[in-house]
């Protein structure tokens, strides 16, 4: 189960990403524990598997519009499906990498996998309850879902 300080580490990793990559701050809503069902996924989702001292997944899920604007903020005019997939994977990887610095070398992260298409989340690890961290940037809302045990 995630502790408050663990969630705070993910929040800081997320806000740091937007400050550096987008050169704009993102606000983070109140994290919440999902008690029934699975969190919905947005248009694009970057998924990181975690192993070592902690096991589970971390994923960043964002709408197409948010990723498009983020690419443009990074001076990238090619907003193709492939670039949106690359970006959502990069965001998930960078946030997880930022967290890895605080959690230590026993927090092993995979290369990101990417899913496109909104809908129900993928199957989560057994006996793991996900925490959703809402991310507000400009007029867009994304979410970071952390499910670690």
Check residue 78 and give its pLDDT: 95
Tell me the DSSP string of the chain: ---HHHHHHHHHHHHHHIIIIISS--EE---EE--SS-PEE-SEEEEEEEEESS-EEEEEEE-HHHHHHHHHHTT-----HHHHHHHHHHHHHHHHHHHHHHH-TTEEEPPPEEEES-EEPPPPPTT---EEEEEEETTEEEEEEEEE-
Rounded to an integer, the average pLDDT of 18-28 is 91
* Distance of alpha carbon 11 from alpha carbon 33, whole angstroms: 15
More confident site: 143 or 120:
143
* Distance of alpha carbon 77 from alpha carbon 84, whole angstroms: 11
Does the structure show a pLDDT above 70 at 120? no
More confident site: 105 or 75:
75
**Arithmetic mean of pLDDT over the chain:** 90
- Total structural domains in the chain? 1
Check residue 92 and give its pLDDT: 95
| Residues 121, 39 contacting (CB under 8 angstroms) | yes
Check residue 84 and give its pLDDT: 97
Domain, as residue range, for 55:
4-148
More confident site: 119 or 139:
139
Check residue 121 and give its pLDDT: 65
Residue 41: which CATH number? 3.40.1550.10
Check residue 1 and give its pLDDT: 66
Does the structure show a pLDDT above 90 at 66? yes
More confident site: 120 or 59:
59
pLDDT bracket for residue 49 (50, 70, 90)? very high
* Distance of alpha carbon 117 from alpha carbon 24, whole angstroms: 26
Looking from the CA of 24 toward its CB, the CA atoms found within 13 Å total: 14
Q: What's the Cα-to-Cα distance from 76 to each of 20, 79, 84, rounded to whole Å?
A: 15, 7, 11
């Amino acid at each position: 189960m995630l502790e408050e300080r663990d969630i705070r580490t993910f929040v800081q990793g997320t806000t740091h990403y937007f400050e550096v990559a987008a050169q704009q701050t993102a606000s983070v809503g109140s994290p919440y524990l999902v008690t029934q069902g699975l969190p919905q996924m947005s248009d694009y989702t970057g998924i990181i598997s975690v192993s070592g001292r902690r096991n589970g997944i971390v994923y960043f899920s964002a709408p197409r519009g948010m990723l498009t604007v983020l690419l443009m903020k990074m001076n990238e005019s090619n907003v193709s499906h492939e670039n949106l997939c690359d970006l959502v994977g990069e965001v998930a990887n960078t946030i997880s990498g930022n967290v890895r610095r605080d959690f230590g070398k026993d927090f092993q992260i995979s290369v990101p996998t990417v899913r496109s298409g909104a809908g129900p989340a993928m199957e989560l690890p057994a006996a793991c309850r996900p925490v959703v961290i809402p991310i507000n940037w400009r007029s867009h809302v994304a979410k970071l879902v952390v499910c670690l045990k």
